[in-house]
Amino acid sequence: MIVSYGEVLGLAVCLFFMGMICVATRRNLIMILIGVEIMLNASGIAFVGAALRWRSLDGQAFVLFLMAVAAAEVAVGLALIVYAHRHTGTINGDKYNLMKG
């Protein structure tokens, strides 16, 4: 006997809000990417809890795909950050206000 699905979903919603606040308030591109990771992880917790709640393996399968998508997103995102840092010299999101930077 574990806790109810409502409590698992509550934890996932809390983590999702933390990620959203991180994305909305921090201006560092790496912190924004970390916020996206936190949100993806929170949705994974909700999926695994749902898989246990409805006794179905589909939820766990989706978490596997979610991990692959997160890995691809981080690879491309960090490459973009390195590219932007090389061309502008900063990773502060507010500093990108020039065209042909």
Partner 1 sequence: MTLYSGFFYLLAVIITVATALTITSRNLVYAVIYLVISFLGTALLFYLLGAPMLAALEAIIYAGAIMVLFLMIIMLIQVDEQEGVVSLLNQCFFVIAVIGTTFSLVMLLLYANPGSFLPLQAGMVTPRQFGAFIFQRYWLAVEVVSFLLLVALVGALFLSRSQSKEATYGVKR
Q: Residue 97 Cβ, how far from partner 1 at the closest point, in Å?
A: 13
DSSP category for residue 89: S
Q: Under the rule (CB under 8 A), what is the footprint of partner 1?
A: 1-11, 13-15, 17-22, 24-28, 30-31, 33-35, 37-38, 41, 44-45, 48-49, 51-53, 55, 57-58, 60-61, 63-65, 67-76, 78-83, 85-86, 90-92, 94
Cα–Cα dist 49/35, whole Å: 21
Q: Residue 63 Cβ, how far from partner 1 at the closest point, in Å?
A: 5
Q: Residue 96 Cβ, how far from partner 1 at the closest point, in Å?
A: 13
SS3 state at 41: helix
Name the strand (E) or helix (H) holding 49. Answer: helix 29-53
Q: By C-alpha distance, which of 19, 29, 24, 21 is closest to 96?
A: 29
Nearer to partner 1, 51 or 98 (CB): 51
